[in-house]
Chain A
Amino acid sequence: MRNDSGIKSATGLTGSGSRDWIMQRISAVVLAVYAVVMVSFFLFNGHIGYEQWVMFIMSMPMRLLSLLAIVALAVHAWVGMWTVFTDYVKSTGLRIVLQAAMIIAILVYLFWGVMIFWGRGIM
């Protein structure tokens, strides 16, 4: 049956392949910057204590950057895992179940990440 809906995949991130593609690149750059910042902190500070760590990770710029990174992660993981599932899981039923689980997991990661940086890590 021909798909005239304009939406090629119900479980893709944006419903458009080219938009998914560009979102994956933008989020990749954000995550790459975040990785470099985190590694630089540990690399250039030698032995890190609790105070120094909390001062760094809970500083205003790092809270913002971390929130940006967790949103980028949600976008990036969605497009990436979707691609993996559509390429290797041929059974439609199983793929829908796996993609649904993936979407729920991504939302959990997203909200958990937000809670850590806005709720000051309440356990």
Chain B
Amino acid sequence: MKSNRPINLPLSQVISVNSSPTARASILHRISGIILFILIPVMLWLLQTSIYSPQHFDAIFDNMVLRFIAWIFVAATAYHFVMGIKHLFADMGFNEELQSGRTASIVSLVIAAILIVLSFIWVMF
């Protein structure tokens, strides 16, 4: 029997159908991972430049654009870190049910949001 169940829904449609905190936390975990992957060469370049000489080191720390990019990396790391911990707990069997999973997602989103705001103040000022 041929099933008419939709397969390969576009991501935009998936998000509009399922906008629960669990789904949001999950898709943002992936997006933060992609951002980190893209920014890795920038961070490697910053690392390499920072150890080259005191002048290079100061030039990086005095550059607000570079600080802002570094903050994006730190913020994405903070988010990915928090959601990763949530994921490892789920792997061990914690917060896997609908309600507890939802609660864990909301708590993780709040913790991540706080860390992202704090890291902005920390990196930029």
Cross-interface CB contact of B11 among A32, A35, A88, cutoff 8 Å: A88
Within 8 A of B (CB), among A75-111: 77, 80-81, 84, 88, 90, 105, 108-109
Q: Does A58 contact B (CB under 8 A)?
A: yes
Q: A41 on the interface (CB 8 Å rule)?
A: no
List, in ascending order, chain B residues with CB within 8 A of A58's CB. Answer: 51
User: Is B47 located at the chain interface by the 8 A CB criterion?
Assistant: yes
A-to-B contact residues, CB < 8 Å: 25, 28-29, 32, 35, 43, 49-51, 53-54, 57-58, 73, 77, 80-81, 84, 88, 90, 105, 108-109, 112-113, 116, 120-121, 123
For the complex, is B24 an interface residue (Cβ under 8 Å from A)?
A: no
Bound together, the chains give a CA A110 to CA B122 distance in angstroms of 29
Q: How far is the CA of A120 from the CA of B84 in the complex (A)?
A: 32
The chain B residues found within 8 Å of chain A, CB to CB, are: 8, 11, 30, 33-34, 36-37, 40-41, 44, 47-54, 57-58, 77, 81, 84-85, 88, 91, 122
Number of residue pairs across A and B with beta carbons under 8 Å?
Answer: 63
Residue numbers in A under 8 Å from B51 (CB-CB)? 53-54, 57-58, 116, 120-121
CB <8 Å contact, B88 and A28: yes
Instruction: Give Cα distance in the complex from A42 to B91, angstroms.
Output: 31
B37-A53 in contact (CB<8A): no
In angstroms, Cα B52 to Cα A84, docked, is 36
Given A116-B48, A121-B47, 6 more pairs with CB closer than 8 A: A50-B53, A50-B54, A80-B30, A109-B44, A112-B44, A121-B52
A122 to chain B, nearest CB (A): 9
B44 touches A32 (CB 8 A): no
A32 touching B48, Cβ below 8 Å: no
